[in-house]
A and B are shown apart, each in its own frame.
Chain A
């Protein structure tokens, strides 16, 4: 069932466009910024506001060194912001300790990396099931769920293959299945097609489009404008500053 718990703080927040339903945004940055302590201190993410709603497909673009990975680390709870507050599924996580953030990562976020990060000696099925090892899911249904996730990404026939026997595109599909299997509320992809050729990249992006069409919230970080064009919204980063990008040629 849906939970209709509403954040009381909501009314005092700097009035984002009121959501049509009672669902809190998946991601809400309120003045979130990150400065690496240096020396010299580097402000990789300037304080910014951002809202990503449930079911959105958002892309983040920017040149190298602009702060894309920093943004992803903050959004994915891998790094704590040095200022502002961050609401993930309506939970204020800015003050959460390391243990709480680890648990929140496991439950709310699915990561997809440019370099896949698959365990080379484990089968596709084991790699996907690993996403459920730490989040209190019962052992019994792990295999079934991992199998279902692999089938969903079109790898139902390669369940027992080890990653070294899979093509780049197949590896990234395994990684996507791993990101999906714990039913996160946000799929965070850092350059998901960075290591793939154009054709394979297209099929992976098509998969992300499908997932989005099924209701998944997807956030893709890329430096490639063609990839960025897949998103409903595109946010540009330059020198740590976030800016909503006007969609030239796309009717809003």
Chain B
């Protein structure tokens, strides 16, 4: 193999000065990997900073996304389709009177997107506000909230009945003395069955109990109240003089904001300002408020971890460059250009960063899933987060490797080989 013929220049002499050395990507990665594996424990510890930084990033973003989607799904169900309209006429004008017209339910239900709507208010009795199960003075009395509610209110609240039925437009129109009890209130009054046709006495007036409400999906205070038709309440005790009447509107998905916008005018074209419609809170604003609190603190923490990780990689790579000066000199003697040396050290630090990023991403995802499982949530990690996290690790590694790689490129081969 040392035969004379084979040692002759293989290139034309005129090409010799322009045929530069090469370093194929495969060789580059092979040599970089070998460089990192020289000291595996050190490399692993170096990557730890990036693991923590990227892991925290993914965990924070993932947990934020998970809680937001949790809030979203809860809002999508009911709250996003609920509008409350309040009588604020007394604040505008002290002689305004009761702001809701008699046909309020019909007017609102005529609006596009409305499913059910009804006026309700809390009845305040002047003297004795206890509800009794018998007309006699010594019978068991219970303090209970008395709620005047139109049939539309009941339908909007989506109640489940334990027994009996709801009152309807007929009872409303005839101002019948009927009442619905929440299951808790019924139990406290000693009413367990409707078979005995029980009655309750409010302010001395008898009301036939026609239904016991087991649960509602909106307006949970119905369960703690004695509910009577609003027309009956108005006949016996009048409309609330000090305001406080409200309207509960159930809309179709997506219609709430529009309904809230139109409702005051539909009810009182003459004085829309007497009514204040409250649309459901925007889930997006809710999400940002969640993100802004703890999330930002943790993201800051993650950034600090990344910086520490970068400094760790920079330090280790710099030490490696100093330790491996002889190797650098040798590679240069074997034909490596200074840029090949730069590339090799950059690849080493970049690979450390990317590996740290990958492991960190896994750790972050595992954290999110673990928390979600513990809380019975659906874990949500945005795909962009998943794709970006290893890239953040890679960028950290490359950035950290810049200075050491530059130092390595400046090593003079003659001096490096002198040792």
Binding site for B on A (CB under 8 A): 1-3, 5, 54-55, 69, 73, 76, 78-79, 89-91, 93, 96, 98-100, 102-109, 111, 113, 115, 117, 119-122, 126, 130-131, 133-136, 139, 145, 148-149, 152, 178, 180, 182-185, 211, 214-216
Contact = CB atoms under 8 A, between A and B. Distances in A.
B2 A216 contact: yes
A178 B334 CA distance: 9
Contacts of B330: 117, 119, 130
Contact of A148 (B1, B17, B338, B340): B1
Contacts of B338: 98, 102
A183 B333 contact: no
Contacts of B235: none
B7 A215 contact: yes
Given A119-B327, A133-B27, A134-B23, A78 B2 contact: no
Given A3-B9, A105-B333, A115-B419, 20 more contacts: A1-B5, A76-B333, A93-B17, A103-B19, A105-B332, A105-B335, A106-B336, A111-B417, A117-B330, A130-B331, A134-B21, A134-B23, A135-B22, A135-B334, A136-B19, A149-B1, A183-B2, A183-B7, A185-B8, A216-B2
B18 interface: yes
Given A133-B23, A134-B23, A185-B9, A113 B1 contact: no
A126 B334 CA distance: 14
B20 interface: yes
5 contacts: A99-B337, A107-B335, A134-B334, A139-B26, A215-B2
Given A3-B9, A79-B414, A104 B16 contact: yes
A156 B11 CA distance: 31
Contacts of A1: 5
Contacts of A133: 23, 27, 31, 334, 336
Contacts of A106: 21, 334-336
**Contact count band on B:** 35 or more
B126 interface: no
A100 B16 CA distance: 8
B1 A102 contact: no
Summarize A's interface: helix, strand, loop or mixed: loop
A157 B92 CA distance: 103
A215 B414 contact: no
Task: Please give me the 8 A-B residue pairs with the lowest Cβ-Cβ distance, nearest first.
Answer: A106-B335, A134-B335, A215-B4, A214-B2, A78-B414, A134-B21, A73-B414, A117-B330
Nearest to B15: A91
Contact of B9 (A108, A180, A215): A108
B34 interface: yes
Nearest to A2: B8
B152 to A, nearest CB: 81
Nearest to B333: A111
Contacts of A184: 7
B128 interface: no
Q: Which of B9, B13, B334, B419 has the most CB of A within 10 A?
A: B334
Given A134-B21, A136-B21, A216-B7, A102 B417 contact: no
Contacts of B26: 139
A2 B1 contact: no
A148 B20 CA distance: 26
Given A91-B16, A113-B417, A152-B1, A134 B22 contact: yes
A135 B6 contact: no
B418 interface: yes
A100 B20 contact: yes
Given A105-B334, A134-B334, A215-B7, A100 B418 contact: no
B325 to A, nearest CB: 11
Contact of A121 (B3, B34, B326, B333): B34
B6 A183 contact: yes
A126 B246 CA distance: 85
B215 to A, nearest CB: 71
Nearest to A80: B414
Nearest to A187: B2
Contacts of A104: 16-17
Nearest to A215: B4
Contacts of A102: 20-21, 332, 335-338
A109 B417 CA distance: 15
B174 interface: no
Nearest to A120: B38
B388 interface: no
Contacts of A115: 326, 419
A137 B16 CA distance: 16
B20 to A, nearest CB: 5
B17 A90 contact: no
Contacts of B10: 107
A65 B34 CA distance: 37
A3 B8 contact: yes
Given A117-B329, A185-B9, A215 B3 contact: yes
Nearest to B16: A91
